[in-house]
Amino acid sequence: MLIRHPSDIAPSEITPREVYRHRRAFLRSAGLLAAAAGAGGLLTSTAPARGATRLAGLRQSPFSTDEAQTPYKDVTTYNNYYEFGTDKDEPADNAHTLKTRPWTIAIEGEVRKAYSIGVEELLKLAPLEERIYRMRCVEGWSMVIPWVGYSLSELIKRAEPTGNARFVEFVTLADPRQMPGLAYPVLKWPYVEGLRLDEAMHPLTLLCVGLYGELLPNQNGAPVRVVIPWKYGFKSGKSIVKIRFTATQPRTAWNIAQPREYGFYSNVNPQVDHPRWSQARERRIGEFRKRPTLMFNGYAEQVASLYAGMDLKKNF
């Protein structure tokens, strides 16, 4: 039997203390929720089977990479979504409790035209594209995922941000009846992420409603999320219920929890290490050997100009 010693374990594989502390209680709660769902309670599954939710008429995006795609099974069973569990396999097991219809997103804050939009209208707001993006997690693993959606700018332009709008805040659903992890202070709930307005308006920033040509599975952030491929994955907020335009920089979930480890920008940068591990290399899911991490996750040509003149080590 192979026994791993502390010196053999990468820091990125060590569960954070605040996560471990609440894990057993979370599992007990998740078990109770699953039992309630099985008994025919309010939390019934809305996640359809694979192949039942195909999205027709998708355009192929010029922004796509031609790299080999990560298998669907890995994309949908190896997830970070702490509202449904802190282990990578738990969201796929537990997110069936998320009810994604009906669903409304409120657009508010520093805009001339505040409005609410339902997910069905959202699907028709602009032509849907398939965009195959490289995705990089702060923990050191990466995937290549064929997302479905359109540029977030389409939604933003409709709201007409005022001259005071400098940032965009994304708020995830926080419903303890559907999300057992909310019972424990792993993070400050609801989960909040944010971008500068020019980052949010960049054509690469995707308002995402699907993957692999189908509607998003619950564990991947259904029914709507954002995807920012040049940033670490935790910046891409899931199951969004509010998009708010602000004059000041939003306080975001991981930055509140660990400001030394998770900066507001969180651009993929091999030259800026996480305090507990190097970010210079990554492991693509399905591969054994690590590969060099690319600046801005390989999207430097498209997005480097957003940060001209900035100290990217200070503004990490």
**Which of 236, 185, 176 has its CA nearest to residue 208?**
236
Question: What pLDDT does residue 17 have?
Answer: 43
Q: Are 197 and 167 in contact (CB under 8 A)?
A: yes
For residue 248, what are the CA distances in angstroms to 128, 141, 166, 251, 315? 32, 32, 7, 9, 16
Strand (E) positions, 70-140?
104-109, 115-118, 129-136
Question: What pLDDT does residue 261 have?
Answer: 95
Question: What pLDDT does residue 51 have?
Answer: 63
Question: What pLDDT does residue 53 have?
Answer: 84
Question: What pLDDT does residue 32 have?
Answer: 39
Whole-number Å distance between alpha carbons of 189 and 81: 13
Question: What pLDDT does residue 49 have?
Answer: 56
Q: Which CATH architecture has domain 12-307?
A: Alpha-Beta Complex (3.90)
- Domain borders along the chain are 12-307
The model carries a pTM of 0.86
SS3 category, 29: helix
Averages of pLDDT over each 10 residues, the chain, 316 residues: 40 43 44 40 43 86 96 97 95 96 98 97 96 97 98 97 98 97 93 98 98 97 98 98 98 96 97 96 96 98 98 96
Identify the helix (H) or strand (E) that includes residue 74.
helix 72-77
Identify the helix (H) or strand (E) that includes residue 226.
strand 225-227
